[in-house]
Amino acid sequence: MDNAEAPAGAAALLADRVAVVTGAGGGIGAATARLFARHGARVVVVDIDADLARGTAEQITSSGGAATAVVADVRDSGQVADLARAVLDRFGRVDVLVNNVGHWLRHPGNFVDTDPQLWDELYRVNLHHVFVVTRAFLPAMIERHAGAIVNVSSVEGLRGYPEDPVYAAFKAAVIHFTRSLAVQVGRDGVRVNAIGPDVTESLQVPYSQWLSAEEQAQWPQWVPIGRMGVPEDQARVILFLASDLSAFVTGHTIPTDGGTGAAGGWFRSSRRAGREWTNRPIAP
């Protein structure tokens, strides 16, 4: 689906809109940037990695879309200010902002073994930049009384995450920031929503490389949808939230998880005679 032809005319959901996508050099961000461009947006591809940013922009332009690559570290308020100034000077507005950057950085072990330096690193890459980038572009949206912001949180912000409570706390904060800001700026014509991905291939979580063939065969048991998610799955929901299709939706986080949240720990069982499902911590 990522290679589908661009829709024509009224079918293009973001025709002539200016969209800024952070972390757009790969994974969910790149898939979102490509999909936005196919729907008529002029996309600003933002990434800290120059080669990745240019690569995504070149993919878009070679397919007939409009894209500009900007190298910036969105954790740095000065670089974000320069980014906002460049976008607004060039285009005069921003219609869509996707705050996609995020990373679990590394497995820290037990909370008591972590230190404030790691907490700060997790804060800056998962929450701080959402504040900084949103604050940089929101005034222009309010001035035009139009805009859509989509934040990328995580399933770990919606459930307990014992491997890293600090990361989970910041992802949960993204969700509550989304909810609260949406209420604050609703009458200013700006909508704010989020997604909470799970079991989706990305640069940070390359399931196709991490899992053995035996483990990959378990996707139909692990995920109600029956497969691993791909970045395009997330991009399509972000497109919905960025477009007028969701004109009456604000303050919400859509769990883009293939049904894992709804399953709540239940798995299909292939080993229990007469029982299709199990919630026991044994191999399903």
Q: Enumerate the active-site residues.
A: 167
| Burial per residue of 15-51, b for 16 or more beta-carbon CB atoms within 10 angstroms, e otherwise | eebbbbbbbbbbbbbbbbbbbbbbbbbbbbbbbbeee
Tokens of 178: 């989304």
Cα(127)–Cα(170) distance, rounded to whole angstroms? 6
Q: Which DSSP category does 159 fall into?
A: S
Q: Which residues contact 260 (CB under 8 A, 6 or more apart)?
A: 155, 198, 199, 222, 223, 224
Say what the alpha-carbon torsion angle 252, 141, 23, 219 is, to the nearest 10 degrees.
20
Instruction: Give how far Cα 134 sits from Cα of 60, 74, 128, 165, 240, Å.
Output: 25, 11, 10, 25, 19
Could you tell me how far CA 22 lies from the centroid of its own chain? 9
What number of other Cβ atoms are within 10 A of residue 267's Cβ? 22
Tokens of 247: 């004109």
Say what the alpha-carbon torsion angle 156, 247, 245, 142 is, to the nearest 10 degrees.
-80
